[in-house]
Structures are given as C-alpha cells and as structure tokens.
Structure 1
Amino acid sequence: MRTGPNGHGAELTGFRRFTWWAVPGTCAFMLVLFTGDWIVAGDLPAPVRALGAAALAVEVASCVVLLGRRLTVRPATGAPPIPLPAGWLAAGGAAAAVMAAIPLSRYDYGVWAVAPAIMVVIAATYLPPRRGWLLVAAAAALAPLPGGIVSNAAADGHLLYAALFPAGLVAFTGWTVLGPLWAWDTAGRLNEARMLSAELAVKDERLRFAADLHDIQGHHLQVIALKSELAARLAEVDPARAAAEMAEVRQLAADALSDTRAVVQGYRRTTLDEEIANATRVLAAAGIDARMSLDPAATADLDDTDRHLLGLVMREATTNVLRHSAARNADVDYRIAGGTARLRVGNDGADGHPLTASGSGSGGGSGSGLATLAERLRAAGGELAWDRDGDRFTVAAALPAGEEPR
C-alpha cells in the first residue's frame, strides 16, 4: 500500500487536492468576492479602505493556513484533538472583527457577517464533530443580534433582513466547510481500515504458510528420526535392512527439501491418496498394525481442494500417532455416505498428552495442528473433531462431496 507525503494513501492525493480547493479555496474566494469587492467599490475613506484591505489580506492568509493544516493533520479515531494554531486564529479573528465592524457601521447587513462566519467555522473544524456543530449552532443563534440591534437603532426598516441573513450565512458556511471535511476524515479512516485489512491478510497468509511448513517439516523429520533409530538398531543384526532404512531416510530428506521448495513457490498440493499410502508404510515401519477400510472410488467425487484438506488431516493424524502415542494398532476408515466424505483415524495408544485430552475440534487444548485444520475445514463447509475414550484416540473429518469446487 503506497502512502503519500502526508502519511495518507497515495490514492487519497486527488481527493485531498479536491478538498483543499473546495474548502480553503472556497472560503478565500467568498472573502475576496464579497468583502473585497465591497472594500474596493464602496464609498469609503482612504484610511478605512486601507484598514479593510489589510484585514482582508490577514484573514485570507489565516484561512488558508488554518484549513491547510487541518487537511494535512487529520485526526485519527480516538486520538486527541489537533492542536489549534492560536496565533493564526487570533490574527484571523481580529481581522474578521475589523471586516465586520466596517460594513456594519455603514448599515450593510449582507456583508458584515461573511468574515466572522468563516472564522467561527474554521475554529469549529479543530473541535470534535459534535462540539464543532454546537459552536456553529451557537454562532448562528447569536448572529442576528449585531445586525438586529443596529437596524433597530437606525429604524431603517430592515430589521428582519439584518437579523436573519447573518444566521443563515453562518449555517450555510458551516455546511459547506464542515461537510467536505467530514467526508475527508471518513475517507481517511476507511483508507486506514483498508490498509489494516491488507496487513491482516498478509499476516494470515504468513500464518498459513507457517502451518503448512510445520506440517511438512514436522512429518518428515518425525519419520526420519524413527527410521534412523530403527536403522541404528538394525546396523549390527541386519545390515542389509539397516541400509535399506537409511536409503529411505535419504529419500525422505530429499522429499522434505522438495516439498519445502514447493511450499515456498506456492505449488504444493497434498492429496488424500498419497497420504493414506504414506501412512500405511510409515505406521508399518513403526511396528503399528494399521488397518485400512477404504472406498476405492470415494476420492473420485472430491475436488482438488477437498483432497488436499483431507490429505492434511491424514498427515496430521499419522504424525500424532507417531509422536504422541504408544499405539499398537491403528485404523483408517474413509468413505462417502449421504453426500459427505468422511475420514476417521483411530489408535489405541492415547497417553494423556494435552493434544489427546482435547475434547473436540473447536480448538481446545494445545493441539495447534488439529485446531488449525479444524478452522480450515469449517471454512470449507466441513468439520473436524477429535476425542479420547480411555486409551483410544480418534480423529474424524467430514467434508461435503460431489459439489462444485469452493
């Protein structure tokens, strides 16, 4: 995710440029268009005209600086308010007072409120949204007083206009300034949320990769350790078989390296058929009587994703039998019944390991491998559960079969 010079997403650059022209640009334009034209074209003494022009320049500069800073430093959710540049606000407020007093002294009720309204709204942009709107509402409620008092004292017959127009001007200015800034803040927060979502997706992918790498390395290393121990025992009594076992160890090491490279490249896919065949050989080498009850045609109704998931379950269950049990017998049952592919792996050597004490596939206990697989199967519309009954430990997986690949 690229970021711009102000820390916002680069895709916000155009929106920020638009908001800058729509907010500070519009405020400066309103000041110059209404107040500036009145100062230049009005029948004013030269000193008063010069004072008004100087005040106009100061307020335009204050407006641009204050709103530009407000757009550059956007308040984050839950963060403290942005520090208000008090110097610029004081200068702009003094200039607005001068630009209000001059028209009001000449009974121009349509111009005097422009500069004060803009400064009040700019101050509101630095407050939390609710307080900002309260400030604008309070200013709109008080705006009828200056013009109303002057008009009533002069008895010029413009009391209604002098009282209501400034209030409407304050409300309109608040809407045109606070509205785009609210949209800018919302867009920034949404962009932050999208960046956070992208970061979480990357972290999830890293966790998935770590889980796959753990499955591969843990399984292969466990088998290599088992066969190496067996070869060491056979080295003196049966050298030929010991050599054969070490040849298998060498092949397993090569397979582990190949599988690791495939995971890094993102191409490896475990299949149920391969894992069942591998489990048969590995369990037999460990002296475990493995009984297989398989439907030969069952895997034909599974898509590649389901074969991969059930293959991971078979691999994890086999590794757990070797690592966490003292099993003498193991049984594997796989078939499709009622449109559901069911894989069941059991053994009689549960030894009270925290993994085998877990009650279900909901992720309880310390069985991180099965818990991770349970989440993946649930995401695919299936389920994974494991249970211990005495010295018997069973892992059962189910996935919908015969459906379109998910």
Structure 2
Amino acid sequence: MRDGENAHGTGPTGPTGLTGLRRHTWWTVPGMAAGVQLLFVGEWILDEDVSRWARGPAAVALAVEVVASVVLLTRRLALLPRADASPRADASPGADASPGADASPGAGASPEAGMSPGAGPPVGWLITACAAGTVLAVCALAVRNYGLWAVAPATVVAIVATYLAPRARRPLIIGSVLFALLPGAVVSLAAQDGELAHAALFPAGLVAFTVWVLLGPLWAWDTARRLDEARRLEAELAVKDERLRFAADLHDIQGHHLQVIALKSELAERLVDADPERAAAEMREVRQLAADTLSDTRAVVQGYRRTTLDDEITNATRVLAAAGIDARTTLERTTAADGLPEPVRHLLGLVMREATTNVLRHSRARHAEVDYRVTGGLARLRVSNDGADEPPDTARHPARGTGLPSLGERLRVAEGELTWHRDGEHFAVTALLPIGPATAAGPVAPGTAEAGPAVPGNGAAR
C-alpha cells in the first residue's frame, strides 16, 4: 500500500480515498487513450474494404502510437503529487517505481498543474507519437474517413496539454481545434463529395472532446488533493488553536496564583517579627494556594476547569485586600453573574483575573474598583485602579503586555470587545460581551466590599 495508507485503507489524515482515486486515475487515463485508439482505429484497419496500402502503414503507426501514448501518460502521472501532498509521487499504484519515474521529479508541486515546475514530456517519445499520429491521419484522410483521421492527433494534443499549466494549455487547445477544421475541409472540397460540414466540424469537436476527457481525471485528482490538503490544514489549525487556548489558560492559572503566592510570602516575611500569628496565617494561605494551583493545573490538563466571573470577583477582592488595596465592587443585583451564559462567565472571569494580576504586578495601587452590570443585552465589566506604572519598554521587554491583547482577540471572536486606557496614574480595563436578549435592568444597587486596612510598608503590588 502506498501514500501512507494503513491497514484500514485510510491515508495519513483519515479515510480520504485519495489513494484509490490516484490508482483509478493512473489506470483510467492511459487505458482510455490506448483503448479509444485501438477500438476505433483498429476496427477501421481490420475493415476489408479499406485499401491494403493504407491498412499496412496504419497498423504499424497504430501500434507505435498506442505505446508512445501510454509511456507519455504514465510519465505524466508519475509527476502527480502523493496523497500526503508530498511533491514527489509514487511511481505506480502498487509498485515503487514506473519505467518513467526519472522524468523530472522536481522539487516542489506546481500550484496550477499539480506537477514539478519545468517538467515536460520526454522529447523522443513525443516525436514518435507525433510521427505515428501523422501517419494515421494521412492514411485516414487519403480514403476520406473524416471521422477517424483526428483520433490520434487529438490524443497527442491532449497528452501535451497534460504537461502544461492551464494558462499555457488554452492556446494549444484553441489552436488545435481551429486547425482541425482545415484538413478534412480541404480534402472534402478537393473531392467535391458534399461532406464539407462533417469533414470540418467533426474533427474539431473530436479534438476538444478528447482533450476534455483526458484532462478531466487529472483535474479531478488535483482538486481532490487540494481539498484534502485544505482539510488537513484546517485540522492542524484546530489543534494549534486548542494548544493556544490551553497555553492561555495555563498562563492565567499559574501566573495569577504564583503572583499571589509571591505577594503573600513577602507579606509573611515582613510580619514574621512584628506579628508571627499573622505571618503563620499568611503562610498557611500560601500553602493552600500552592495546592490550589496544582489542582487547577491538573484540571486544565484534563479539560474540566472553567474560570467564572463570580469566583474571580470574590477571589480578586480577597487578594487585593491582602495586598493592602482598597477594593470596591459594584454589582447589579438583578443581573448577577450566575445568570450569564457559561461562555460569557468564563471570558469575563478571565478578564477579571488578568486585570487583577495587572493591578498586582504593574501598579502601586491603593484603590481599585470593579464594576459589573448588564445594559442593553451587553455584559459590561470594568476594572480600574490608581498608581499605574509607566508602560513597559516593549523594545527591551517584547514578551510583556501580551495578556490583554490575547484576551481581546478571544472576546472579538465572541463578538465582544476588550479595551483598556491609561489616564495619568489611573488605568482601566473594560470588557463588553453580548449575552443574548437584553435583560431587564433595575436601578443600580452597588454592593460595596471594602478591603481590610492596608499593611504598613507593603510594597508588593507592583
């Protein structure tokens, strides 16, 4: 089995059927070219009414033409890309090489012709096919067989067209169809047999039909291969998107928890002499946070954990209070986070977590505000703080500042919006997400949760 086919008949990317299609194309195209010539021209040669002087040369020319056609088409098919989209094809459906597998394999597949750039037909065999086709055409025209003389020349034109890109094929095909009008018409006019229309139009139509029949399977193969490649690329993109989502979730969990652990450890260090009991309590929380981080990381790996807005608001208030930041939370009583669709709660929870982490890492805040409400079918979350640090030097620290832009992309995919702005020492992050039909919103009922008193000398929130 070839083309990465496994025991179940599927390719490397699934049951695409391209291996079978390639084999079908391999046998159909040369077989059809040889069969049509043997059937129609061979029947004519065996007709006892045909003069012997025409039958002898025609029989030899037919044999040569069939062999040359099969060789030319086999070498063209050897240039077909494999089902796994590699530029070099298998030599045959069931063998490692074909007689013409050395014919310009090339280094890459042409986007139009599905073959190697610059690969052309073997000149010797092409000349042989043209010569044999000319002999057959002359023999048939000599006995005024207007429906047969164009069979071999049309096959040669179609074979040459298979080696060309679409733009180069058109002039060849159009020119051949127009030229096919002339030989039969000239012979008919000279003989005055009254078959001018048939002698001119039938060969031209035969050329066009032969080219279409031989190019059709190659076009079908190339189209199927491109569709399979697009499907595989789509699958790869889906895997990459999932990896990015997993990386973002892991960054959110570990970055946030590690920042809080660092904050509480510093706080415990400052309190160990002045208030040992408080220091011990902080270290117990550090231990619990470490255990939570491990548990959450395992949950993300298993795909179970989902960040929610209500959990993150509660956690943010507790963490900011531990950092000595006066955190005020304003929530609409009639639009609690529990009533949100799960995807909205998850995304807003991520925003809440990232905003809280930014307050801790990139500010010397003393006050922070969290405002959540639903207006006109939009869930709006705004987190602001004072004491914002200067924006980082992205030239010196190119990896910093990627959390909010990444979240902004995720909200845009959900038809939402994430904006942030700085006004002096004040920094605010605002998230908007649609939640479906507008929820009836009553008057704003702020529930204010103030943080505990600031710990003197605490400078961990940077």
When the two structures are superposed, what TM-score results if normalisation uses the length of structure 2? 0.77
- Counterpart position of 1:59: 65
Match of 2:407 among 370, 373, 378: 373
The 8 Å contact of residues 273 and 311 in structure 1, kept in 2 or not, is answered as: yes
Distance in 1 (CA, whole Å) between partners of 2:416 and 2:213 is: 54
Matches for 1:8-157 after TM superposition, within 5 Å: 10-20=16-26, 23-42=29-48, 49=55, 51-72=57-78, 73=80, 76-77=110-111, 80=117, 82-157=119-194
Match of 1:391 among 419, 425, 438: 425
Match of 2:364 among 308, 319, 326: 326
- Counterpart position of 1:266: 303
TM-aligned CA distance change 1:171 to 1:337, over 3 Å:
closer
Distance in 1 (CA, whole Å) between partners of 2:369 and 2:13 is: 58
The 8 Å contact of residues 382 and 428 in structure 2, kept in 1 or not, is answered as: yes
The alpha carbon displacement at 1:3 in A equals 5.7
State the AA in 1 paired with 2:268: A
State the AA in 2 paired with 1:315: R
The alpha carbon displacement at 1:131 in A equals 2.2
State the AA in 2 paired with 1:56: L
Runs of 5+ consecutive residues of structure 2 not aligned to the other structure: 6-10, 82-108, 439-462
When the two structures are superposed, what TM-score results if normalisation uses the length of structure 1? 0.87
Distance in 2 (CA, whole Å) between partners of 1:257 and 1:83 is: 62
- Counterpart position of 2:103: none
The alpha carbon displacement at 1:234 in A equals 2.3
The 8 Å contact of residues 81 and 127 in structure 1, kept in 2 or not, is answered as: no
Could you tell which deviates more after superposition, 130-139 or 70-79?
70-79
- Deviation by residue 1:342-371 (Cα, 9 ceiling, x = unmatched): 211111111112499xxxxxxxx9632111
- Counterpart position of 2:387: 349
Matches for 1:248-267 after TM superposition, within 5 Å: 248-267=285-304
- Deviation by residue 1:126-161 (Cα, 9 ceiling, x = unmatched): 112132122111112112333334444445554443
Secondary structure (helix, strand or coil) at the match of 1:342 reads strand
Distance in 2 (CA, whole Å) between partners of 1:155 and 1:7 is: 63
TM-aligned CA distance change 1:318 to 1:101, over 3 Å:
same
State the AA in 1 paired with 2:329: M
Percent identity of equivalent pairs: 64
The 8 Å contact of residues 62 and 91 in structure 1, kept in 2 or not, is answered as: yes
Distance in 1 (CA, whole Å) between partners of 2:377 and 2:74 is: 64
The alpha carbon displacement at 1:306 in A equals 1.1
Backbone CA RMSD of aligned residues:
3.0
Distance in 1 (CA, whole Å) between partners of 2:172 and 2:40 is: 24
Query: How many residues are aligned here?
Result: 395
- Deviation by residue 1:354-398 (Cα, 9 ceiling, x = unmatched): 499xxxxxxxx9632111212222222322111111110011112
The 8 Å contact of residues 301 and 401 in structure 1, kept in 2 or not, is answered as: no
